[in-house]
Structures are given as C-alpha cells and as structure tokens.
Structure 1
Amino acid sequence: MSEVRTLKVALLGCGNVGAQVARILIDDADALAARTGARLELQGIAVRNLDAKRDVELPQELFTTDAEVLVKDADLVIELMGGIEPARTLILTAMRHGACVVSGNKALLAQDGPTLYEEADKAGVQLSYEAAVAGAIPILRPIRDSLSGDRITRVLGIVNGTTNFILDQMDSTGAQFADALAEAQRLGYAEADPTADIEGYDAAAKAAILASLSFHTRFALEDVSCEGITSVTAADIAAAKEAGFVIKLLAIAEKLVDEDGKTGVSVRVHPTLLPREHPLAAVRGAFNAVFIEAENAGELMFYGQGAGGTPTASAVLGDLVSAARRIVLGGPGRTETTTGHVPSLPIDAAVTSYYIGLDVADQPGVLARIAQLFAEHGVSIEIMRQTIHRDADSNVESAELRIVTHRAREAALAATVEAVRRLDVINSVTSVLRVEGV
C-alpha cells in the first residue's frame, strides 16, 4: 500500500471562523485524509497578536506573525483575515508559489476578484470562496456547477444575518430599529460598529459575487446599487404587516432588457416588501436564504445559517477538501466561469413595484390629484389605503396614505415619487420601499 501524501496547510487569521477551521483540521484529520486521499497538515496560523485570547485551545507552536514565509511553503492557503490588505498580497504570493487558496473574504473578492481570478488561472491553481456568501449554505458551488447547464434569470438573497435579525425583531415584537439593533449587538449578531451590515455594504459585496457567478460576467462592488435598512421604521413594518407583507433586506441580481432594448444585469441591495407567502418571507432570525430562478430548473431555494464560526468553517472545509482532491488527482485548477460580458444596468432599468407612505392634507380632491399624477407618469396604483389622523394640539386633521403600485420601471416610479413630493397637498413622503414577489 502506498504512503498517503501530506499537503501543507497555512491558515491566515484565527478569529471566530479561523479558530474553528483549525480545530476541525486537527480533530478530524483522519476523516479529512480519507476524503481527500492526503493528510492535511496544519503547518501554521498567521496572526497579528500571538498572545490574544482565543475561544478554541490550539497548540501555541502553530502561531506565527510571519504570514509571508508561511504562505510561500504551503500547498493550500486558507485566508480568513478579512479586509483588502495584507490579504490581497498574501493570496497573490501564495498562488504565485503554487498554492491553492480558500478565502472567505467577500470584500476583497467583490473589489478585486478579477485580478485574483486571473492570477489563479496563470498559476494553474484553484481559488475557492464558498464561505464568502451565506456562511454554511452551499450556494456558490451549486450555481457554478449544478446550474452550469441552465440559464439563471434572477437571484434574490437574504445574505446578511444581522439585518434579517433586526427586521425580524421589528416585525415580530413591534420594536423600533434602534432597540432591535441593540438586541442584535447584545446577542453578538451585530458588531459594535454595525455600519457594514445596516447600510447594506456587506450584502452588496455578496451580491456582486452572486451576480458574477450567476451571469458569467465580472461584477464589482461599484456595479451594485446599495441601500441599507436605517430608514425602515416600526410604522413601515406595521403597515407592511397589515397589508400582508414582510420587509427584508434583499440582494437582487437579475437579467433585464432596458428601454433601449439592451440586455444587461441589474445588481442591487435594498429593503424590500415580500408577500408573507413568499418562501423568503419565512426566513427568521439571523438565518440566510438564496432564492434562484432559472429557465429550466425553475425556482430553487437554499436556506441555512449565514454566519457563525462553526457553520462558516463547514463551508471553508468543503472548499479545502475539493482543492486538496484536485491536487491529489492532478489536473488544472478550477477557474472562474466568466464566459460572457453582460453589461451592468443601473437600478433605473429595474422593473419593480413601490410601496409609498404619504402624509397628506385631509381635503376633497387629494386622492384624485395623486391618482392623476401617477397616471401621467405611466404608473398604475394597485392598492391605496387611507387612515385619518387628528393632531391633539392643533386639532388639524391629516390623512396617511399607503400606496402599492403595479410593476413599472424604477425610473418611472422614482420620477412619480418626486412629482408627488412637489404637490402642495403633500405634507411629507414618509417612506418609499420596493416590492418584489407579487
């Protein structure tokens, strides 16, 4: 019987996910060897601070601050540092020295993925990044492999657990945004600085990756229209609930034909109303889900834990085993599947519905004037609800209108809202949210 080959593994970063990856590599070494046909030997763990306290007890001799030396001598490199630099330089160094790379760095991949893919192709190595989107959910490999013989037309994703938890808390308990955010921070779902989550930046990076794989074209972060959830109020949540909707932060990538007949892809992230019967509406807490529409496969949904050390480590190890098997069996690295150059379309080209909240003067003819303005812009009203309010101090009555439109071009809908704002009977536009799934 021939001796089992040993592959040297370098780990960059030992945070929540990295520590679990190291633990699994050590504890499950025999099982991983059986699956890959080689021993995966953890050679070292590059960290900034050797003395930092870690949740998992690991051999101290594995830790080093010299990441460059570590990656130059590795067969497989796992990058879990996050950020752009030095992660980018270390990944490029690793690939130029013949190492396959597994990364969970969605920000780097969204910003500079094309350079990394090109370098991987040139070096004949594999670059894998399942952990970069939706944690433990196997979504990137199914898109790249299982659906490679189909045409994906649309991807809708809840890809940020923090924002889903916040919106779910607001929906289920009636909490205000600030209170739901504080609860997310208390439970460890949100960072002390939650900006990347609540402003949609984290979801936008993942949207760029999903779009690139789904439509075989390189999309970067600047191609994604991004809007966070900070403007979503408890009143919006309650009104949506009353109308049979739930609000989710969605990452959306879809193939469209614009008004000039040009085919392209719109990639966007924004708070969205979904009918409560839609599969994504049932995704609760900090869970993630990705809903795919394809020409032949139809509708598919992938659901699971979108964050956390152990779940995300599962995705990392899946990529690692795949890359290790490629090394053992031989052959070229798995390359990027960008075979076309579909242009990125601005959000104005998207076809959607709007949910609009208005505070208006309570006087005759107001509804008719608003309806006429919508008609002039080619936008049809599907639902209009009116509630009368009386100010206790001034004793002046006003009306709150909640309007849901039929589907129309984003540009037409946005122009309609701006025209409505200018009407003298409008006190304020209290909310504007998009509607999908109807």
Structure 2
Amino acid sequence: MIDYRRLRVALLGAGSVGSQVAALLLKHGDELADRAGAALDLVGIVVRDLDAPRDTDLPRELLTTDAESLIVGADIVIELMGGIEPARTLILQALNSGADVVTGNKALLATHGAELFDAADQVGASVYYEAAAAGAIPIIRPLRDSLAGDRVQRIMGIVNGTTNYILDRMDREGAEFADVLADAQALGYAEADPSGDVEGYDAAQKAAILASLAFHTSVPLEAVHREGITDVDQVMMDAARHAGYVIKLLAVCERLTGEFDVSPTGEAISARVYPALVPRDHPLASVHGANNAVFVQAEAAGDLMFYGAGAGGVQTASAVLGDVVSAARRHIAGGVGVGESTRANLPAAPIGHVTTRYQISLDVDDRPGVLATVAGILSEGRVSIATVEQTVLVADAARPQAADDRVGRARIIIGTHTAREQDLSDTVDRLGASGVVRRVVSVLRVEGD
C-alpha cells in the first residue's frame, strides 16, 4: 500500500447507519485510501451507552461517550446521531476546529442548515450531506454540482420509504392503511410513533433541503406546505385506480413565475408535501415498496430520474462514505471548502399560489338538479370541470335509516382543469356548505401529467 497522508476521522453515533459506516471504514480502509488519496483513520466512535447492543461488532477501544474530546484534532467528523441537539452544537464545534463535517441529519439541516453552512464558510470548511435527502440515491451532488449551470424548474420526489411502502400495498393489494402500517412497524420501516413519516414531517424536511439546492435559495422548513397520508383510504385508492392514477406521497419543489412583488425577477418557489395522484404511465408510479425516487425537470438537461433505496443502514452508509471520500480529497488538494449557493433569494410562495389539476370526490343527494348546482359553484369559483363520473350509492337495507337518509345518495368524482389552489380551496368550502353536498370525501392534486 502507498504511504498516504493520514486523516483522523471521528464518528458521532453508532446506530443502524453509524455502525455500518464504522464497519465499512474498518473493512475497506485500504480501498478507500486509494480512492481518497489519504488513509482514513477511524479514531473514535461516540455512543450514548458503551454496553448497548449494536447491529455490528465494533472494537470496544474505539467507543467513547466524550464527543468534545474526540472532535479535537479530527480532520473529518461524521455526524449520525440524529436530532437537533447535541448534534448542532457538536457540528459547530467541529467546523470551528477546522474539520469537514459529513452528516445525514435531515431534521438539523432543514432547521439550521443556513447556520451550519455559514459557520463552514467562515473557516473554509465544508458540510457534506448526500445521505440527508434520499438515502443511497445520489441527488445532492447532481443538484449542487452537475446542474449548477442549468435552471431546475421542478422536482417531484418520493422521498419517504415508509409511506411509499404503505401506499403501494394499499394500491396493489387493496389492504387497509392501519393493517399495512402495522406491518411496516413490524418490518422496521416505521417507528412505534409513525407520525414523522405518515404525517409528512420527514418528507417536508427533505423537500426543504432539495428546494434550497435546486433554486439556490435558503428555504426554511416552515415554508414547506405539509400534508400526510392518514386520510387515504380504499375509497380514494379505488377512485384513483379507476381514473388511471396511483396515489403517492410527493415532495414537490417548483419554480413559479408570476407577479411576486417581493422578487425582482417576478419568480418565486413552492415547496410542498402531500398525497397526490400520479398517472400510471409516469416513472414515479412504478416506484414500489420502500424505494425512493426523485424526478428532476431542468431547462436544458430535460427530465432526469434518480431511483434506489431510500433507507437502510448499509445503503445509507454508502452515501455517507462517498462524502467522506470527497472530504478527504478536499483535504489533500487543499483550499477552502465548497460553499452552498443561496444567493438567488427567491421568496417562498404560499400554497394558495400553486396551480395544478384536482380530483374532487363528493357524496351528494341523488336527485335532479344536484349536479347542476355543483357545476355552478365550481364555475363561480373559477374551477373548470374536465371530467365527471357519478355513481349511485346503495344504502344498507339491513340498517335502519333516518328520514333524511331515505333520499338516494350518489358519489360524484370530478376531475378539474388546472386551477389555482386558493380558488379550489374556497370552492370546496362552498360545496361543503351548499346543502346538496353531504360530504366532501377527498380532494387530491394531480401531479406529473
């Protein structure tokens, strides 16, 4: 082996990803040195409990609970602890000591990314975070580097494996949400408290990161519109299938053009997460199981698709080690770190400014004039109808009915042309209060057609 310069690597966290990173660093050290041009010496691993069971056997002499002492003198610090604190404080300490940082901490980057990048710029260090947005899928570097000379117009991503697993099984097997969620928890795809996944928080954090990169603008987490999948049921699945769609939880990041007074270019951006209808012939519709995919539309490059495992210890470790090699190469080459480009300063538009198509499902009285009333309300709200399908709902003969239930019921499924979100929302409110609509069953956006 060549006598390489040696770089000290400190690892913070030895969970499912951290333990795999450590194991691969120790196992493939010579290979990684050849690729990096430097020997990568794992000098310590910070853990909360020295005696806790781990996915991988790690040398006990490397384990420590003293993170601050380990950071001192490290050239590269890998943060895989998760959470906001103490990860934020430790990363700032590492950067201020001159170390480069590799992290997969999406929650921290979505809330304090600007602070961390600024701290890195002050000392000429770099923060690498390929593992923070889509697991093993290489998407950070393509957005930050390969597409830096292009104009990204739109990103649509399936960036949460748990929700994709749930929705995929509901679509393909006709399974119920609660049953599939229980299976996901048993398989380790979902936590005991699954709200971070099924309520869209995880995907929203990733959307903030992707939008910041794609549009060279710092996008705070609170600017991301978020909806989860807990209201998705088989009625909605069946309606989607019948219309030629599949329901996916999407992170959508989009460049908007219009009259935005706070933007000198008249442009703004939208970052949002919600369950949406995707045409079955769209590439994202074929993303099954717990896989992730990111679909990028750029002005010059056109349509690009990134697909692969969005989670998993060894898969995510691959992305982390790629960043470690990049950081090592920078140390060998010298010079300041690569800063983040956020100088576009585009404003984040509220969800009401977004335009897309919709599918609206309504339970109504089955009597003359109802459809005309519904159509009139939509027209008044500047929402144009593209398709209408009506199905008579048969009452359960074995169940006693109240007097007002003896009027027949029907379900109307309306597909709209492109409409403004605020107009659609106001119109749905008027439909619900119209007296002819018994229940607004669902409103789903259509993306990717």
Alpha-carbon separation, structure 1, partners of 2:167 and 2:56 = 32
Match in the other structure for 1:323: 327
Q: 2:337 aligns with which of 333, 337, 345?
A: 333
After superposition, the C-alpha distances for 1:1-47 in whole angstroms (9 at most, x for unaligned) are: 98411100000000000000000100000000101111100000001
Q: 1:284 aligns with which of 284, 288, 307?
A: 288
Instruction: Confirm or deny that 1:419 pairs with 2:437.
Output: no
Q: TM-score, normalised by structure 2?
A: 0.96
After superposition, the C-alpha distances for 1:114-136 in whole angstroms (9 at most, x for unaligned) are: 10000000011110000001100
Alpha-carbon separation, structure 1, partners of 2:144 and 2:66 = 34
Q: Quick one: which amino acid aligns to residue 11 of structure 2?
A: L
Given that 1:258 and 1:349 are in contact with CA atoms closer than 8 Å, whether structure 2 keeps it comes out as no
Instruction: Confirm or deny that 1:297 pairs with 2:294.
Output: no
Instruction: Confirm or deny that 1:183 pairs with 2:194.
Output: no
Alpha-carbon separation, structure 2, partners of 1:314 and 1:100 = 18
Cα deviation, residue 230, structure 1: 0.5
Given that 2:198 and 2:229 are in contact with CA atoms closer than 8 Å, whether structure 1 keeps it comes out as yes
Q: Quick one: which amino acid aligns to residue 176 of structure 1?
A: E
Match in the other structure for 2:446: 435
Alpha-carbon separation, structure 1, partners of 2:32 and 2:393 = 65
Aligned CA RMSD, in angstroms, stands at: 1.2
Cα deviation, residue 380, structure 1: 0.7
Instruction: Confirm or deny that 1:271 pairs with 2:282.
Output: no
Q: TM-score, normalised by structure 1?
A: 0.98
Given that 1:259 and 1:349 are in contact with CA atoms closer than 8 Å, whether structure 2 keeps it comes out as no
Alpha-carbon separation, structure 2, partners of 1:92 and 1:207 = 23
Match in the other structure for 1:376: 380
Match in the other structure for 2:46: 46
**Residues 325, 383 of structure 1: alpha-carbon distance in 2 compared, 3 angstrom cutoff:** same
Alpha-carbon separation, structure 1, partners of 2:272 and 2:323 = 27
Instruction: Confirm or deny that 1:407 pairs with 2:411.
Output: no
Q: Quick one: which amino acid aligns to residue 178 of structure 1?
A: A
Which stretch of the first structure deviates more once superposed, 384-393 or 76-85? 384-393
Match in the other structure for 2:347: 343
Given that 2:365 and 2:407 are in contact with CA atoms closer than 8 Å, whether structure 1 keeps it comes out as no
Q: Which runs of structure 2 are paired with 1:116-265 in the superposition (5 Å)?
A: 116-258=116-258, 262-265=266-269
Alpha-carbon separation, structure 1, partners of 2:179 and 2:130 = 33
Instruction: Confirm or deny that 1:308 pairs with 2:308.
Output: no
Q: Quick one: which amino acid aligns to residue 413 of structure 1?
A: L
Alpha-carbon separation, structure 1, partners of 2:275 and 2:3 = 55
Match in the other structure for 2:21: 21
Alpha-carbon separation, structure 2, partners of 1:258 and 1:192 = 44
Alpha-carbon separation, structure 2, partners of 1:289 and 1:260 = 31
Given that 2:259 and 2:267 are in contact with CA atoms closer than 8 Å, whether structure 1 keeps it comes out as no
Given that 1:125 and 1:334 are in contact with CA atoms closer than 8 Å, whether structure 2 keeps it comes out as yes
After superposition, the C-alpha distances for 1:251-299 in whole angstroms (9 at most, x for unaligned) are: 0110112455742001100000011001101100000000001100111
Q: Which runs of structure 2 are paired with 1:25-104 in the superposition (5 Å)?
A: 25-104=25-104
Q: Quick one: which amino acid aligns to residue 430 of structure 1?
A: V
Given that 2:386 and 2:417 are in contact with CA atoms closer than 8 Å, whether structure 1 keeps it comes out as yes
Unpaired stretches in structure 2, ≥5 consecutive residues:
none
Unpaired stretches in structure 1, ≥5 consecutive residues:
none
Cα deviation, residue 172, structure 1: 0.7
Q: Quick one: which amino acid aligns to residue 254 of structure 1?
A: E
Cα deviation, residue 390, structure 1: 2.4
Cα deviation, residue 339, structure 1: 2.4
Aligned partner of residue 133 in structure 1, secondary structure: helix
Alpha-carbon separation, structure 1, partners of 2:437 and 2:254 = 34
Given that 1:390 and 1:396 are in contact with CA atoms closer than 8 Å, whether structure 2 keeps it comes out as no
Cα deviation, residue 396, structure 1: 4.2
Cα deviation, residue 187, structure 1: 1.2
Give percent identity, aligned residues only. Answer: 59
**Residues 326, 260 of structure 1: alpha-carbon distance in 2 compared, 3 angstrom cutoff:** closer
Given that 1:388 and 1:399 are in contact with CA atoms closer than 8 Å, whether structure 2 keeps it comes out as yes
Aligned partner of residue 134 in structure 2, secondary structure: coil
Cα deviation, residue 219, structure 1: 0.5
Alpha-carbon separation, structure 2, partners of 1:210 and 1:334 = 17
Given that 2:8 and 2:43 are in contact with CA atoms closer than 8 Å, whether structure 1 keeps it comes out as yes
Cα deviation, residue 220, structure 1: 1.2
Q: Quick one: which amino acid aligns to residue 319 of structure 1?
A: D
Alpha-carbon separation, structure 2, partners of 1:301 and 1:201 = 23
- The count of aligned residue pairs is 438
After superposition, the C-alpha distances for 1:85-104 in whole angstroms (9 at most, x for unaligned) are: 00000000001111000000
Alpha-carbon separation, structure 2, partners of 1:73 and 1:413 = 57
Cα deviation, residue 182, structure 1: 0.7
Alpha-carbon separation, structure 2, partners of 1:67 and 1:286 = 33
Alpha-carbon separation, structure 1, partners of 2:212 and 2:151 = 13
Cα deviation, residue 210, structure 1: 0.1
After superposition, the C-alpha distances for 1:139-165 in whole angstroms (9 at most, x for unaligned) are: 010011111110001000000000000
